[in-house]
Structure 1
Amino acid sequence: MRFGMFIPQGWRHDLVDIDPAEHWQTMHDLAAHADAPDSGWESIWVYDHFHTVPVPSETEATHEAWTLMAAFAASTSRVRLGQMCTCVAYRNPAYLAKIAATVDLVSGGRTEMGIGAGWYEHEWLAYGYGFPDAPARLRALREGVEVMHQAWTTGRATLDGEFWQISDAIVQPKPLQDGGIPMWIAGGGEKVTLKIAAKYASYTNFNGGAETFAHKSDVLRGHCERLGRDFDSIVRSSNFNTVVGTDAADVERRLAAVEARVAPYLGPAGTERYLQGMHSDESLVGTVSEVVAKLEQRRELGLGYAIHYFPEIAYDRSGLELFEAEVMPALA
């Protein structure tokens, strides 16, 4: 199994109580940790959001994804760089293709493109994007992916679409990577998203429990068969909220520390929603043996890449180090 790690960027209230002047150093140091040759991490990731969750905050930072991508490109040397995932509607797709190609050049060919239709209505409306219904957002995703594919494979893009009118946009230099930047199509929509993935994706990213993962995999396989695509050429990935401890008491201690940190900023209802996310089907919360068992189950179902969000690592790396020392070797 291959491993990626989210770098805290404030979106999930994971930089609270740290002076904003120290945020970059905190993020940089964690990126450097992952970048070490023996770390076991293949990639680092950020989220593409503008407002915090589960409560939009007027005071807490959410650092912009592609600015961080450029900074990490210049400040790391080995680890691959991704976003899970870029919202296709937040940037003109030809412009986004240009940004990503430049980041790929700066990084020496280490960029990944996580791309999705977007969902966070509060920030869509606040930033003036409106909030089209889900079918429209998915049609926009299809158009945006086509534009990026053209740009990275030919150096030009043209599309007379419903959402974008691109006329011979030049994207030079193209990405360093042969065939363009690997595309991670994020989301589990069965009729549209997974069909787009079957056509364009090097990787998929969908979450949910083991049963859901198996079902979505079967849907993806069906789309691949209809398009004549080799299903096994697409690596399936999932994201996990991860809190690992030496024993049950250690796990509870870690969760309590996270709760105490975010509660003053989220209020009772927001804190409850936050903690629910730590106990969902998208979470790996438990002892080393429990976390390993859950990941082994997913691997048996075809999970090839696990991307982990550790809510505590801006303040305490001991859980991260435990994961590196005992969970990753068990699944390597």
Structure 2
Amino acid sequence: MIKAKTLVDESSCFVIAEAGVNHNGDINIAKKLVDAACEARVDAIKFQTFKAKSLVTKNAPKAEYQKKTTESVNQYEMLKKLELSYEEHVILKKYCNEKHIMFISTPFDFESVDLLEKLNIPLYKISSGDLTNIPLLKYIAKLNKHMIISTGMANLGEVEDAIKAIKEVGNNKISLLHCTSNYPTNYEDVNLNAMITLENAFKLPVGYSDHTVGIEVPIAAAALGAKIIEKHFTLDKTMEGPDHTASLNPEELKQMVTSIRNIESAFGDGIKICNVSEQNTREIARKSIVASVNIKKGETISFSNITFKRPGNGISPQFADDIVGKIAIEDINVDDFINFSNIK
């Protein structure tokens, strides 16, 4: 059993590789997605659990982006092809355990929550579409597991209502993801600063669920302090399916994770000091007080006979005012350090 990473207290960003429905209903493709996620060294791989009959009406229209990426007549027909059975969920969960990667999934209906509970998943991810589905939120909240809530299409009031509903049943283990529910999302529609707004408004761990093309925006979110990053990925962007074109390929996913980890290592402890790695450069790059001309014994040190040159292992120029006016107690040649042994 893979233990859940502590999202609230964990110093490193929790990276979720969103496989979603990019398996196209094929368990073998799903396994290959697990392999790719492991190779990228993400913290978890996430799928989507639903029954088409419980999720949409028989004639529910497709979103505009779905019309461009699938040939199905409507949402029901499209989603029916993308369902995974309980048995396939069991196979996937076992495969993830063998690969030492956390398996999670987004449930879209009560039956799917029950299915995932049988698998004892460590946490629940709630889609933006169900942010206002208070009955489903409460149903999941009663399980007393960590809930990651996407907030695409929502205003602050709707987010507040969702949080209130979850807390009313005694679950305080909540994280929020800023999100723009468009596939793909244009950069000018990302509004990444809204992630900060969520954090300030609700004092909860906040992250970002990304639907832009490329890896720049999730990396920027990590730099802004996102505790969670979720990103769709696929084996092949040219495959038919609603989310492939807005997903990363395996190599891009690996690059994104590497970049996020590099950023985390660059945060440091915030204490402003000379780093150990800078010590040598400090001596070479900083300057010392040196004679600008030959100075005879008995001469007064003045700004006319000193200058400031590298290296920096003599008296620092910051003490120049303390040196000016002193008397040379020996001859000092041009470019020699002015120090406390040759002046008084």
- Normalised by the length of structure 2, the TM-score is 0.43
Q: Which has the higher helix share?
A: 1
- Normalised by the length of structure 1, the TM-score is 0.44
